[in-house]
Structure 1
Amino acid sequence: MTESTIKPPLSNVQLELLKLYATGVSDETLLELKRTMAKFFLDKVRQSADKIWEDKGYTDAQMQAVD
């Protein structure tokens, strides 16, 4: 196995979340964090889809025709 294929046991995001959770958070705060992360990733996917849509020159009329 080469050095470039060796991965650390935890990602940078996992390490930051562990630091946060080590301080202890309420269930309410945990739920809010989950919602915030879900929205963040949904926004990223939407931005990516919008860029593809724009790059391909798709129109709403084309999508309506698919139905």
Structure 2
Amino acid sequence: MTTTKFNPVQLHLLQLFAHELGQNELADIKALLADYFVRKADEEMQRLQQRNPTTQADLDALLNTHLRTPYKKP
């Protein structure tokens, strides 16, 4: 049997959730976590846009690009 070591974030969250939380508090924590990850994604998108600016022509070309992996016929 293998053991899993928790990282510091996981340990902190486990300690936080060791206390009784109501539904409102749980909803607040979910919203905080969602906002955090949205903010991090926005920051990364801004960083990528600054490093490699996208033009309207790039976006238009992307609209007509087929990116799906084709299915293999049996």
Counterpart residue type for residue 43 of structure 2: Q
**Aligned residues between the structures:** 60
1:5 alignment partner in structure 2: none
Identical aligned pairs, as a percentage?
A: 22
Counterpart residue type for residue 20 of structure 1: L
Q: How does 1:1-67 map to 2 (within 5 A)?
A: 9-59=5-55, 61-66=56-61, 67=63
TM-score (norm 2): 0.66
User: Structure 2, unaligned stretches of length 5 or more?
Assistant: 64-74
CA distance in 2, matches of 1:46, 1:62: 22
| Between structures 1 and 2, the one with greater helix share | 1
CA distance in 2, matches of 1:63, 1:25: 48
Larger radius of gyration: 2
Counterpart residue type for residue 48 of structure 1: E
TM-score (norm 1): 0.72
CA distance in 1, matches of 2:46, 2:36: 15
1:12-64 Cα shifts (integer Å, max 9, x gaps): 111111111112111110111011101101110111011101110223x2354
Runs of 4+ in 1 over 3 A off after TM superposition: none
User: Structure 1, unaligned stretches of length 5 or more?
Assistant: 1-7
**Closer, same or farther: CA 63–24 of 1 in aligned 2, 3 Å:** farther
